[in-house]
């Protein structure tokens, strides 16, 4: 069996781009690539990891509000995909299946940690709890006050998206940040397409209303 | 085209996922309410764009690699895996119970009809001094041996009362 890039011995170049073995897989649909994973092709699995690692970490980051937890959850999604490879049936779009796994994990994580969440605060001296980044010194023409306003706006956006009801939040994150269409979101959330449209419209209306002061 | 039809597609149009069709553009040009709503949606979308997610860290691939290796090192699920499924384990227990019950009922039926006779029928005359003949002797003299056991018990009780 081809051990692939992720299974390469220590000291080899890190997985961050497509190897020659993976390059040929671009011609196949993700479901077809997953069928190859099922047949034991490790490089096919590496291809899917490379393709979805960034969007999945982004999705988990916006759901978990914590970069470390987001990476851990995204890894768990890939592990679950790997464990389920032998029972995989290409009946649905691969991305839909992947995001369904990710959604279940993210929702469970959010429920498990809802009491642990600290109040969102802004401090100039301490690093941000969620991102681990420190307050940026003004550069690029931004004054300290402008940078602080920008940061407050960012925290407000995050806070308002997070305050949405669970399904609306999931729908907005998938639609706005994962660029997923109504049909696919509907399949992930197991809703009808019209219900998804209505869900998204309500969510954006709420966000528009609550973020009015920043527009 | 109605306002509801245009508003259905507004999130997609505002997010830039699709472009407004000719009919939708016509409606937007003639309906101030829908045009205003779309402009507000676009502003909201632009605001939401500011919330960027971080890139996966360099440790992401290393950690995933380690977790996958661990996953691969796990032993393949063998027949013992069966017992880790509570429902299947419970079903197996019930089946075993039923099987044992049936076996003993069947056995009892055979003994009731005379095991020695059945043995003799099946295997012919039994030679004395063999295990089979010993078992037959035990079977025939069961009541006598039971009396011996009773006497043994009485003997023990006597000993106890004699040596308190």
pLDDT in tens, B89-114: 788 888 898 888 888 877 665 555 55
- pLDDT higher than threshold 60 for residue B156: no
- The answer to whether the Cβ–Cβ distance between B71 and A79 falls below 8 Å is yes
- The answer to whether the Cβ–Cβ distance between B8 and A201 falls below 8 Å is yes
**Rounded Cα distance, A159 and B40, in Å:** 20
**Residue B8: other Cβ atoms inside 10 A:** 17
- The answer to whether the Cβ–Cβ distance between A175 and B57 falls below 8 Å is no
Residue of A nearest to B43 (CA): A215
**Rounded Cα distance, A186 and B33, in Å:** 28
* pLDDT for res A4: 54
* pLDDT for res A66: 86
* pLDDT for res A157: 94
| C-beta of residue A43 within 8 angstroms of C-beta of residue A30 | no
Token pair of A152 as six digits: 């407050």
- The CA distance from B57 to the nearest CA of chain A, in Å, is 8
* pLDDT for res B148: 67
Is A134-215 a CATH 1.10.10.10 domain? yes
CATH class of the domain comprising A1-6+21-117 = mainly alpha
- The answer to whether the Cβ–Cβ distance between B71 and A83 falls below 8 Å is yes
Token pair of A215 as six digits: 């527009």
| C-beta of residue A156 within 8 angstroms of C-beta of residue A142 | no
Query: Which residue of B39, B46, B66, B68 to mutate against A (max A Cβ within 10 Å)?
Result: B68
Least confident range of A13-17, B41-45, B118-122, B143-147? A13-17
Cα A151 to chain centroid distance, Å, stands at 22
Per-residue pLDDT of chain A (215 residues; tens, 9 = 90+): 444 555 554 444 444 555 666 767 888 899 999 999 999 888 999 999 999 999 999 999 999 878 999 999 999 999 999 999 988 888 888 999 999 999 999 999 988 887 775 444 444 444 455 544 544 444 567 788 888 888 899 999 999 999 999 999 999 999 999 999 999 999 999 999 999 999 999 999 999 999 998 88
- The CA distance from A6 to the nearest CA of chain B, in Å, is 5
- The answer to whether the Cβ–Cβ distance between A207 and B48 falls below 8 Å is yes
pLDDT in tens, B2-12: 898 898 889 99
**Rounded Cα distance, A164 and A204, in Å:** 10
Would you list the domain boundaries of chain B? 3-48, 126-164
- The answer to whether the Cβ–Cβ distance between B47 and A215 falls below 8 Å is yes
Nearest CB neighbour to B48, from listed A61, A75, A157: A157
In chain A, CATH 1.10.1740.10 covers 1-6+21-117
- The CA distance from A35 to the nearest CA of chain B, in Å, is 18
DSSP A183-205: HHHHHHHT--HHHHHHHHHHHHH
* pLDDT for res A7: 52
* pLDDT for res A18: 58
Total beta-carbon pairs less than 8 A apart between chain A and chain B:
109
Residue of A nearest to B45 (CA): A176
In chain A, CATH 1.10.10.10 covers 134-215
Cβ-Cβ contacts under 8 Å for A18 (sequence gap 6 or more)? A26, A47, A50
Query: Which residue of A157, A173, A174 to mutate against B (max B Cβ within 10 Å)?
Result: A157
**Rounded Cα distance, A77 and A107, in Å:** 13
Between B157 and A114, whose confidence is greater?
A114
Interface of B with A (CB under 8 A): 7-8, 10-12, 14-15, 17, 40-41, 43-45, 47-48, 50-51, 53-65, 67-69, 71-72
- The answer to whether the Cβ–Cβ distance between B57 and A79 falls below 8 Å is no
Q: End-to-end alpha-carbon separation of chain B, Å?
A: 108
């Amino acid at each position: 069996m081809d051990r692939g890039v992720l299974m390469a011995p220590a000291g080899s170049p890190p997985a961050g781009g497509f190897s020659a073995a993976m390059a040929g897989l671009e011609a196949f649909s993700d479901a077809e690539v997953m069928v190859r994973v099922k047949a034991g092709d490790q490089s096919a699995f590496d291809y899917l990891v490379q393709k979805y690692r960034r969007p999945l970490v982004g999705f988990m980051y916006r759901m978990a509000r914590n970069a470390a937890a987001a990476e851990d959850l995204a890894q768990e999604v890939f592990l679950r995909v790997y464990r389920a490879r032998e029972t995989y049936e290409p009946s649905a779009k691969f991305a839909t299946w992947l995001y369904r796994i990710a959604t279940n994990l993210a929702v469970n994580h959010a429920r498990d940690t809802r009491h642990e969440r600290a109040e969102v605060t802004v401090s100039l001296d301490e690093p941000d709890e969620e991102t681990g980044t420190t307050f940026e010194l003004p550069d690029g023409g931004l004054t300290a006050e402008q940078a602080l306003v920008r940061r407050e706006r960012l925290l407000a956006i995050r806070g308002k998206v997070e305050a949405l009801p669970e399904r609306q939040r999931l729908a907005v994150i998938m639609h706005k940040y994962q660029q997923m269409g109504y049909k696919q979101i509907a399949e992930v959330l197991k809703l009808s397409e019209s219900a998804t449209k209505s869900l998204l419209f309500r969510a954006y209306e709420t966000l528009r209303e609550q973020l009015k002061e920043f527009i | 085209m109605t306002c509801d039809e245009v508003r259905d597609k507004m999130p997609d149009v505002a997010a830039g996922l699709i472009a407004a069709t000719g009919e939708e553009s016509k409606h937007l040009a003639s309906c101030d309410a829908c045009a205003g709503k779309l402009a507000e949606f676009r502003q909201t979308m632009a605001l939401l764009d500011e919330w960027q997610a971080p890139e996966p860290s360099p440790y992401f691939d290393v950690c995933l690699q380690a977790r996958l290796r661990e996953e691969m090192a796990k032993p393949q699920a063998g027949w013992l895996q069966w017992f880790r499924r509570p429902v299947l384990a419970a079903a197996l227990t019930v089946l075993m119970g039923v099987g044992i019950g049936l076996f003993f009922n069947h056995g009892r039926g055979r003994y009731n009809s005379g095991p020695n006779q059945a043995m003799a029928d099946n295997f012919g005359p039994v030679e004395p001094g063999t295990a089979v003949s010993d078992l037959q002797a035990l079977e025939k003299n069961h009541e006598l041996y039971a009396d011996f056991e009773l006497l043994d018990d009485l003997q023990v009780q006597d000993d106890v009362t004699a040596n308190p």
